[in-house]
Amino acid sequence: MTTRWAQKWSRLTQMSWDEIRTRFGQATNKRLDFAYYQMGLRPRTRQLLPSPSRSVKFFLDVSELPKRSNLLREHLPKEVGNIIDRADRICCHKFDLLGYEGINYGSEIDWHLDAVHRKRAPLKPWYKIDFLNFSEVGDHKIIWELNRHQHLVTLAKAWCLSGERRFADELCAQWYSWQKANPYPLGCNWASTLEVAFRSFSWIWVRQLIAGCPSLPVSFETDLLQGLWLNGRYIERYLSTYFSPNTHLLGEAVALFYIGALCPEIPTAGSWQEHAWHIILREADRQVRPDGVYFEQALYYHVYALDFFLYARILAELNGLSIPRGFEAILRKMLDFLYVLSQSGSPEGFGDDDGGRVFNPHRNRIEHMTDPLAIGALVYAHEEYANAASLTEEAIWLFGETAIAKLARQAPDFLPSSHAFHAGGAYLMCDNEPCRQQMMIDGGPQGTGHCGHGHADALSLRFSVGGQRILIDPGTCVYISDGDERNRFRGTAAHNTLTVDGVDQAVPQGPFAWNSIPQVKTERWTAGESFELFVGSHDGYARLPDPVIHRRLIFHVKGGFWLVRDIAEGRQEHLLKISWHFAPGLELVKEKHVLTAKPPDSRRPARNALAGVALLSADNPVWKAELFSGCDSPAYGARQSAPAACFSARVALRAECSVLIVPLAYGYTLGTFSELHEPRSTVRSYRYDLPRSTRYVFLCESGEPWCCGAWASDANLLYGEVEDGRLTRIIMVSGSFAKWQDKDLLVLQEKVECSEWRKGKTYAAANSTVKYSAEANIEFFHPVV
């Protein structure tokens, strides 16, 4: 038996009976459909029902179109102008697709053309087209984005907003042009069930928005319904139950639900609605982790899935379906996660960026990822969601005046707070001094299954200050190309984490799979009143001949610095590189042991304004720092240069590298950073010296008593601040005592998770009482007896 057939047989033996039955049925149906086509037999629905058996409700009634159009003109005039301008270009067959702008398709649209790379997909049975083969198809994403027909919705909206007949005429002409050029089952535009689903969303919106247009052909309504029937038949037959049981299956089910709920003229609509609703509820429970993080570990896919769920939920309620409490709870958790990421401004992306959106494909940048919060605020009357969202065109079309009342206002100021999403592995550290700061740490799984949309970014971090992106995730760029951009952007070196010997944490296997996927472990998460501590590790480099474990510690003192400590554990010599990718537009300057990233407006001083962010490294001759030109992809297909830096060393393991990240407000004096590791000592100590104060961090993994200079403890972490010779702050993690200059600072009968003290303010440890020591002139803690 050949290797290929052996692999197929092995795969077959692992399938369930339902999977075998489903795959066999799909394989048979697609070949039968092509055979019927060759015989001249086209699929055709039974007679559409002349009088639907039930009434249906869309997101807005046709009678409400003039009023909602007026609301858009009044409250979002710039957005209305953009719609009209874009519709004008669409009439000239110039399209903005994904991150590509002004793509010219000429006088006759070729619906099978990747106009960016000038490659045309062949017109043959859809199941015979290798759409992942760039040489055969080009980038199928570009072709499919045009064929989602979301630009037809733009034309329909332009007709509603302007009343100009030419937009409706162009819409109609393009729709019939597409029908002629894409006879089922030929062409790559039938090769993905999700793409058929997206086309269905667009046609349903078009049907509603131009229902009152007098210039439409008499047959357009019937022809559109016939097209929706064919789409629904296709979706039901070729659901991605075992092919891509993620957002593909979810989007397909929502589209089938749309058709079933909103097209009662189709005889099979009722069964489609019931079947699709069952899938939606089942997949919500399966695809979302217990803490609300979408299981593909990608922000854009989280938003994708959330949009699908929200639209299905709204439509179900409008049409009298019962919304299960469990489904509501899942949606609220997904919204909560997105809200937490957005507390300090636009959430930083992670994982793949598909480039598409359910409603408006042009809102595909990182700053648009909060859009579901606007919908969630209106569905659940949730003030916090509204605070992090803004009024959108989508919200007005869906909710009318309610959206204006809830979202068209100045959001009150609020203070971000730290959160841990253990199942999804996202850890958020927040601070508000001197301005809002947020760090997101990836301490969770790479994805699900073969992690097709996850990146090899374990223990990477993203950082923003005052809403300004500082340390970023570079994005996705493309899925398919004639180069290696796919692996470069999703590889480990493109993220703010450690690489070993120049290889990724996982092994790429085609454009949508990984092998040797690392196991990521969060070893400690402690969120105190005045600090946060994260410790995590992964075994992505355990596959090397000399296995290496990467461990990262991040310690943040609120109102102060962020300590990032990377440890590589192994036995032999390895090349270690720690990458730091900065946001485009920042000016990156290297001076001795300090990297400073400055925003473009750094010359305009203002109170608490951000003057820059500094990365300080200790004087260690083993590690070398260098600047290089990185890359950022703000949307699928788009790329721009961005500053980057790398700390590297070829060294025998065990080895470590530590940096301080310090936000700089105007007038702030940058200190000096140093570290000391005494021979045969289990303690690693760090100092950050400022003109009038010194901050100390001591780390000891053994848990045994230790002594370092004037300090002694048994804590895993001890932090102390000394200002003008007097102690002003102490933080102890997993310890029972601390001494300074032979004075007892903290004396506990047993170890506690954390203890904190700050001059003028005391934070009680768990299960402890607070007492005062006149001798030591500080407060300290005793466990409750």
For residues 688 and 663, membership in a common domain is answered with no
Mean pLDDT of 525-533: 94
Q: What is the CATH number of the domain that holds 504?
A: 2.70.98.70
For residues 498 and 595, membership in a common domain is answered with yes
For residues 75 and 156, membership in a common domain is answered with yes
For residues 696 and 681, membership in a common domain is answered with yes
Lowest mean pLDDT among 91-100, 130-139, 166-175, 773-782: 773-782
pLDDT band at 135 (very low <50, low <70, confident <90, very high): very high
Name residues whose C-beta falls within 8 Å of residue 424's C-beta, 6 or more positions apart in sequence: 289, 291, 292, 293, 294, 297, 337, 444
Lowest mean pLDDT among 191-200, 539-548, 668-677, 708-717: 668-677
- Strand 548-557: give its sheet, edge to edge: 520-527, 531-541, 548-557, 562-569, 655-665, 610-617, 594-598, 587-591
φ, ψ of residue 546 in degrees (nearest 5): -105, 100
pLDDT band at 779 (very low <50, low <70, confident <90, very high): very low
The predicted pLDDT at position 153 comes to 98
The reply to whether 695 falls in a domain is yes
Burial 129-168 (b: 16+ CB within 10 A, else e): bebeebeebbbbbbbbbbbbbbbbbbbbbbbbbbeeeebb
For residues 531 and 385, membership in a common domain is answered with no
CA distance 507 to 624: 27
The strand pairing partners of 507, in sequence order, are: 515
For residues 363 and 484, membership in a common domain is answered with no
CA distance 208 to 148: 17
The predicted pLDDT at position 368 comes to 95
The predicted pLDDT at position 666 comes to 67
For residues 495 and 549, membership in a common domain is answered with yes
CA distance 339 to 343: 6
Q: How many CB atoms lie within 10 A of CB 58?
A: 19
CA distance 214 to 169: 10
- Per-residue model confidence as pLDDT tens digits over 205-240: 999 999 989 999 999 999 999 999 999 999 999 999
User: For residue 768, is pLDDT > 60?
Assistant: no
Helix, strand, coil percentages (3-state) for the chain, rounded to 5, are 35, 30, 40
The reply to whether 779 falls in a domain is yes
The predicted pLDDT at position 763 comes to 52
Helix H segments across 210-242? 220-237
For residues 664 and 754, membership in a common domain is answered with no
User: For residue 520, is pLDDT > 80?
Assistant: yes
Q: How far apart are the first and last CA of the chain?
A: 72
The predicted pLDDT at position 149 comes to 98
Mean pLDDT of 508-530: 95
User: For residue 303, is pLDDT > 90?
Assistant: yes
The predicted pLDDT at position 769 comes to 39
For residues 135 and 244, membership in a common domain is answered with yes
Residue 361 sits in which domain range?
Answer: 42-407
Q: What is the CATH number of the domain that holds 73?
A: 1.50.10.100
Say what the pTM is.
Answer: 0.94
DSSP-derived secondary structure letter, 716: S
For residues 585 and 536, membership in a common domain is answered with yes
Question: Which of 419, 420, 433 minimizes the C-alpha distance to 466?
Answer: 433
The strand pairing partners of 781, in sequence order, are: 770
The predicted pLDDT at position 760 comes to 65
CA distance 561 to 429: 12
pLDDT band at 5 (very low <50, low <70, confident <90, very high): low
The predicted pLDDT at position 775 comes to 36
For residues 718 and 652, membership in a common domain is answered with no
In this prediction, what percent of the chain has a pLDDT beyond 90? 79
User: For residue 606, is pLDDT > 70?
Assistant: no
CA distance 776 to 785: 23
The strand pairing partners of 683, in sequence order, are: 700
Q: For the chain, how many structural domains are there in total?
A: 4
For residues 359 and 472, membership in a common domain is answered with no
Residue type, 571: R
